[in-house]
C-alpha cells in the first residue's frame, strides 16, 4: 500500500496570551502548507487532529515544535493512504476539550504520566490496589477499551464532573487510579479534576490509547479505538485482538462503527451489514421512517457537502489563495 499521507494527533496544555492572533496565524500556515483537519485553540493551549502529505506534515510539526509555547507537545503519527479530512477548521474556543472544568489547573496539578511500557505491566499483573478509569464517552468505550477498565455511563466528556459520585462509589481514594482516553487530552484534565476532589494517587496514560498502540502494539486493548477523522475506528491491538461491540440491530459481534442515516439522530453505533439492510443504515425503525434519512452507501459515514468550501474564509485582511 502506498502510504503518502500522515494523520497527526496532538494536544498541549499551555498558556497562550493572545489565542485569537495565534489562531489566525496558525490557520493561514495550515492553508499555505495543505494541512486539513480540526484544530482547537484557546488560552489553555491547542488540540488537533490533522492530515496531509508526509512532507507537509513534517513542515507542520516543525512549525509547532519550534514555538517555545509547545515545548511539551508530542505528536502521535499514523501513516495512511489518503487524506483523512476534506476540510480545515481552526476554531477559537474557551477550552481545548469541552469539559466544563475551566477552573481546573491542569498545568500545575494533574496526574503523573505513566508511559505505555509501565501501563502494559500493570495490565498484565492486575494489581489489586490499582483502578483503570476510561474517561471517554459511551460510543467510544463500547467499541473498544482496555482490559479490566472501569467505564462510565457518559454521553459526553463535558458531563464527566457530574459522575464524581459514581466514581467515588467504584474507586477507593486510597488506591492508585489511572485515567486514559484516546490521545491523552481528556485523561489529563480528568486526572486534575480527581486530584481536586481528594484523590491522592492519580496517574494518566501518557499519549492515551494511540501512543500505547504505537509503542506496545496495543496488547490487551479489547476492540477498536474510536477516532475523530474519516477512519471512524482504528485497529490498536496487534497481539491479542478481540471484538467486544455488538450490532445494535442484530446483536452480532461487529467492530464497525457508523452514524445513523437519520440526519436528526446521527447516533454513533456498531452496525453489521444485515443490520444495515433491516433499517436502511438507521439505528431503529423510527429513524428509518424519518423524512430526513440519508441514503446508506455501505459505509455509514456521511461527509458534509463542501458547498464551495474555501479555507480562507475567516482569515481577516488576507487575499491569498490556497
Query: What residues are labeled active site?
Result: 181
HSE toward the beta carbon, residue 20, CA cutoff 13 A: 2
Handedness of CA 254, 256, 260, 265 (dihedral sign): positive
Handedness of CA 66, 71, 73, 74 (dihedral sign): positive
Helix, strand, coil percentages (3-state) for the chain, rounded to 5, are 30, 25, 50
The label of the residue with cell 496544555 reads 13
CB of 16 closer than 8 Å to CB of 42: yes
What does the angle CA 26 – CA 205 – CA 241 come to, to the nearest 5 degrees? 105
User: Grid coordinates in use for 155?
Assistant: 454521553
The label of the residue with cell 502494539 reads 217
Amino acid at each position: 500500500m502506498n502510504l503518502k499521507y500522515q494523520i497527526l494527533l496532538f494536544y498541549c496544555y499551555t498558556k497562550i496570551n493572545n489565542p485569537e492572533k495565534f489562531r489566525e496565524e496558525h490557520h493561514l500556515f495550515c492553508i499555505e502548507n495543505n494541512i486539513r483537519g480540526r484544530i482547537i485553540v484557546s488560552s489553555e493551549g491547542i488540540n488537533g487532529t490533522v492530515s496531509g502529505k508526509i512532507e507537509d506534515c513534517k513542515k507542520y510539526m516543525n512549525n509547532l515544535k519550534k514555538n517555545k509555547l509547545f515545548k511539551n507537545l508530542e505528536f502521535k503519527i499514523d501513516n495512511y493512504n489518503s487524506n483523512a479530512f476534506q476540510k480545515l477548521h481552526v476554531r477559537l474556543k474557551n477550552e481545548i476539550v469541552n469539559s466544563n472544568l475551566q477552573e481546573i489547573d491542569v498545568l500545575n496539578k494533574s496526574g503523573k504520566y505513566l508511559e505505555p511500557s509501565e501501563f502494559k505491566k500493570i495490565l498484565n499483573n492486575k494489581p489489586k490496589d490499582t483502578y483503570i478509569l476510561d474517561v471517554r464517552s459511551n460510543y467510544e468505550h463500547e467499541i473498544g477499551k482496555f482490559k479490566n477498565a472501569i467505564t462510565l455511563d457518559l454521553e459526553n466528556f463535558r458531563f464527566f464532573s457530574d459522575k464524581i459520585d459514581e466514581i467515588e462509589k467504584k474507586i477507593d481514594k486510597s488506591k492508585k487510579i489511572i485515567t486514559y482516553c484516546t490521545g491523552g487530552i481528556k485523561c489529563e484534565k480528568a486526572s486534575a479534576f480527581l486530584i481536586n476532589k481528594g484523590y491522592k494517587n492519580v496517574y494518566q496514560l501518557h499519549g492515551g490509547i494511540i501512543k500505547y498502540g504505537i509503542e506496545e502494539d496495543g496488547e490487551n486493548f479489547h476492540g477498536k479505538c474510536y477516532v475523530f477523522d474519516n477512519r471512524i475506528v482504528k485497529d490498536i491491538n496487534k497481539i491479542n485482538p478481540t471484538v467486544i461491540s455488538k450490532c445494535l440491530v442484530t446483536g452480532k459481534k461487529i467492530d464497525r462503527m457508523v452514524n445513523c442515516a437519520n440526519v436528526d439522530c446521527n447516533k454513533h453505533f456498531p452496525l453489521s451489514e444485515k443490520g444495515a439492510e433491516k433499517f436502511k443504515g438507521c439505528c431503529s425503525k423510527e429513524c428509518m421512517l424519518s423524512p430526513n434519512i440519508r441514503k446508506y452507501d455501505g459505509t455509514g459515514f456521511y461527509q458534509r457537502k463542501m458547498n464551495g468550501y474555501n479555507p480562507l474564509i475567516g482569515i481577516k485582511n488576507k487575499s491569498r489563495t490556497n
